[in-house]
Amino acid sequence: MVLAAAAAAAVNIPPFLSLPARAFFRYGHRRHLPPLLLRATSSSAPDFNITFAEPAPAPAPAASKPSSTPNPSAEQAVPWIVRGKDGKPTMRTDPPPDVLQAIALAEAEAKRAKKKDPRKSQKGALAGSVDSGKVKERNAAPAAPPKFSKAARRFYNENFRESEPQRLAKVLAMAGVASRRTNEELIFQGKVTVNGSVCTSPQTKVDISKDSIYVNGNRISKKLPPKLYFAVNKPKGYICSCGEPKSIISLFDDYLKGWNKIQPGVPKPRLFTVGRLDVATSGLIIVTNDGEFAQKLAHPSSNITKEYVVTIDGPVYRNHLIAISEGTKIDGVKCIPDLVEPLDVQANTKRTRIRIVVHEGRNHEVRELVHNAGLEVYALKRVRVGRFRLPPDLGIGKFVELKQADLKSLEGNKVG
């Protein structure tokens, strides 16, 4: 008992604790004993007596890296005091099963927490070295760039990829024969043959790369012309209909004459205007051979805004602007402009100019709005479609080919 009291005092154990409690307080929270050997003796004491042997000499330091397994000759496992089935406390050198189970559950929970938050597990590596502590996302190899550019893929799809069967009237229009309506009339008249047989149905599905198609005895080329898009600064006095002496398409005569040099072996494209501008209106108009694009851009349901500059013959007052902004009925439909505002007077003329923005796109819509307000139109010019504005350096009667970014601008700036 004297030895036990001395040992308790050496580790600051409260003296009021019982012997089993003091032994657990001294050794229960430690993994291994210090170099002290416990020795239990049988006695007539109520439970058991514990005595301490002399400290064993410390082992000599090994030259190699020490093993993680402790040396049983140097130290002994912590004694566990467990109450048996008879209610009496007993001492054992291995932990009880319930303690082992609790430790296993705690370790498994710690592993699951590391898997859920890998950044916490990498905290030590980040503090130790910058190079070795990079996050997995940063160490991941960057995605490989595409093998071919977007322009190369588009060229392949338009020229080499196998085409899907399409309606005969549409194929003839894409081949530059005529408009879809005119092609339908040619088909109904029996002037179109497919693979040697007369075809009278415009809805017949054909593949231009595989089928043999003739129109009026002339074979259609198996190659389709590329899709083209142009912005034209329309002069006053030109019309949008094709085949007329002063049509907008006649401005491309020189361009089409040199087509065989630009695209040898490829049929000439059949160009047409997207929407219409009346003969007295000038400014921006789009010309293309892409029917689907033209339909999407010109249809009123697209709600694409169009900006006009109207030169007025005579004075303009505030009540005129209010009348224009209130709108008017055209073909039984109420049309209200999106924007009406006066512009600064130009130095070379004293006439007032008004900016009008609409999205309906109905026939003569801007002229009807101005006439309904009691004003006379001296000149009308369209300067913008969508977000694409007429280039200021594009001369009257000139055209410029549009790029992909320009096509996206045409479809932008919608209303609603």
Active site residues: 278
Enumerate long-range contacts of 294-297, CB under 8 Å, 24 or more apart: 296/411, 297/385, 297/410, 297/411
Beta bridge partners of 214: 193, 219
Give the strand pairing for 281-288 and 377-385. parallel
